């Protein structure tokens, strides 16, 4: 790394931080020490990125890769420092740490991805660097937003809502009418085993090329997981609680609304989180079989044919980000509504 004095100084900082952590172990116990070591390791990452981007083709030496391996080990130790912080004493500190550690891990993966693809000159068709994907993302914001609206805001949310609500309603009917359980559940297992690639073209023929056909595929994928999980949750109510409601002369619907459905909430939220990923996958795959000239699935299939792999990865990033945020929202709501469950209790 001989590409300027500033690069050399930035590359020297992680070595100083590592020496301080090695010979002064008390530094890593204090919060300012953790922050300083994190910043000096980040400066080393910036130095290596600057070096590999500034180097001429084929001139990157083996020494920089030895330094990158050492830097990856330091980043691993830094994440260990932050993971061992006691988060139960301060709620705000716990929230920051729970966000910081995944961000550091994701940043480490992006750093190694960028270094390897640029340093070893990996062809863009095989795997573009994150910086190139970022440029494609910035240049295609309007197009990616239109795709997001078509796929997620229309097909995914509509199909997810209809599939989950109908699953809960049918689960209550199955619980109320015993013969439906023996007649409907085997059919449900059969329908849930149908491949998306077989169902999607049929739904396109039935409901057209717009988002309605994709929502229909999402309904099929989300209905039966919700049905099975809700039935399991309704049956999980303790017998003592049911006997208590019987002693109060409660009818079926009173027991359902006041005892059985609240007890089934952990199972329902589990199905919601599973369906959040299934819905996005189903909508994107369904768009491969017919859609207007907009949508995440359409964009991926079209741009890969044009060898615009950076745009494909940008679309994948939008899908991953929207799916992760949707899952995080459901996990947050689960914690708000089922905080009484033993899985959320702090020992």
pTM as predicted: 0.80
Write down the pLDDT at residue 347. 43
**Cα pseudo-dihedral 36, 40, 41, 45, rounded to 10:** 150
Radius of gyration of the chain (CA): 26
In a domain, residue 55? The reply is: yes
Query: Which range of residues forms the domain containing residue 68?
Result: 5-122
Residues 58 and 145 in one domain: no
CA dist 186 and 179 (Å) reads 12
Q: What pLDDT, on the 0 to 100 scale, is given for residue 101? A: 82
Residue 128 lies in a domain: no
pLDDT at 273: 92
Q: For the residues of 80-127, what is the DSSP string, one character each?
A: HHHHTS--SS-HHHHHHHHHHHHHHHHHHHHHHHHHHHHHTT--TTT-
Do 302 and 238 share a structural domain? yes
What pLDDT sits at residue 87? 63
Q: Are residues 340 and 198 in the same domain?
A: yes
Q: What is the pLDDT of residue 56?
A: 63
pLDDT along the chain (347 residues), means of 10: 57 67 61 77 82 66 77 82 70 75 87 88 86 90 91 92 92 82 72 76 83 89 89 82 73 80 88 91 86 85 86 92 91 83 58
Domain assignment present for residue 90? The answer is yes
84 contacts 151 by C-beta, under 8 angstroms:
no
The answer to whether residues 311 and 171 belong to one domain is: yes
Angle, nearest 10°, between helix axes 309-337 and 296-305? 160
Q: How many domains are there within the chain?
A: 2
Answer with the one of 66, 98, 122 that is the final residue of a domain. Answer: 122
Regarding whether 312 and 219 lie in a shared domain, the answer is yes
Asked if 81 and 148 sit in the same domain, the reply is no
Please report the pLDDT score of residue 17 as a whole number.
Answer: 66
pLDDT at 11: 66
Q: What is the DSSP letter of 56?
A: P
Q: Count each helix (H run) and each strand (E run) in the chain, helices first.
A: 15, 0
Within a domain: 111? yes
Give the model's pLDDT for residue 156.
93
146 and 76 share a domain?
Answer: no
State whether 159 and 307 are in the same domain: yes
Check whether residue 152 and residue 81 sit in a common domain.
Answer: no
Q: Is there a domain that residue 133 lies in?
A: no
Domain contains 180:
yes
Contact 81, 27 (CB under 8 A): no
- Domain boundary among the residues 87, 122, 157 is at 122
Look at residues 91, 122, 153 and tell me which one is the last residue of a structural domain. Answer: 122
> Is 127 inside a domain boundary?
no
Q: Whose structure tokens read 């003592």?
A: 240
State whether 113 and 158 are in the same domain: no
Taking 3-state DSSP, the helix, strand and coil percentages for the chain, each rounded to the nearest 5, stand at 80, 0, 20
Model pLDDT, residue 30 = 66
Indicate whether 194 and 325 sit together in one domain.
Answer: yes
Q: What is the CATH number of the domain that holds 318?
A: 1.10.3720.10
What whole-number distance in Å separates Cα of residue 192 and Cα of residue 187? 9
d(CA 10, CA 307): 37
């Amino acid at each position: 790394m001989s590409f300027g004095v500033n690069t050399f100084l930035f590359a020297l900082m992680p070595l100083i931080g590592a020496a301080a952590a090695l010979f002064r172990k008390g530094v890593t116990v204090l919060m300012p020490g953790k922050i300083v070591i994190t910043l000096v390791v980040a400066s080393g990452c910036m130095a290596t990125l600057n070096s590999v981007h500034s180097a001429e083709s084929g001139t990157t030496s083996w020494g920089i890769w030895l330094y990158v391996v050492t830097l990856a080990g330091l980043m691993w130790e830094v994440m260990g420092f932050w993971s061992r912080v006691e988060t139960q004493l301060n709620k705000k500190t716990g929230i920051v740490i729970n966000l910081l550690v995944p961000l550091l891990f994701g940043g480490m993966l992006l750093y190694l991805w960028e270094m390897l693809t640029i340093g070893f000159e990996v062809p863009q068709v095989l795997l573009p660097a994150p910086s190139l994907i970022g440029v494609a993302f910035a240049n295609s914001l309007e197009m990616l937003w239109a795709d997001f609206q078509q796929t997620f805001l229309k097909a995914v949310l509509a199909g997810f809502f209809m599939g989950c609500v109908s699953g809960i309603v049918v689960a209550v009917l199955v619980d109320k009418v015993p013969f439906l359980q023996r007649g409907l559940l085997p059919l449900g297992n059969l329908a849930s085993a149908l491949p998306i690639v077989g169902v999607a073209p049929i739904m396109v023929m039935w409901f057209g090329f717009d988002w309605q056909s994709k929502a229909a595929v999402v309904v099929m994928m989300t209905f039966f997981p919700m049905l099975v999980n809700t039935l399991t949750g309704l049956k999980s109510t303790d017998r003592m609680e049911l006997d208590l409601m019987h002693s109060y002369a409660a009818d079926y619907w009173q027991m359902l609304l006041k005892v059985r459905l609240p007890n089934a909430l952990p199972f329902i939220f589990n199905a919601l989180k599973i369906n959040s990923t299934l819905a996005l996958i189903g909508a994107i795959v369904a768009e491969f079989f017919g859609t207007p000239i907009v949508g995440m699935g359409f964009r991926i299939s079209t741009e890969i044919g044009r060898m615009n792999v950076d745009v494909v990865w940008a679309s994948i990033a939008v899908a991953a980000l929207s799916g992760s945020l949707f899952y995080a929202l459901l996990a947050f709501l689960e914690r708000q509504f089922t905080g009484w469950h033993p899985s959320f209790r702090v020992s």
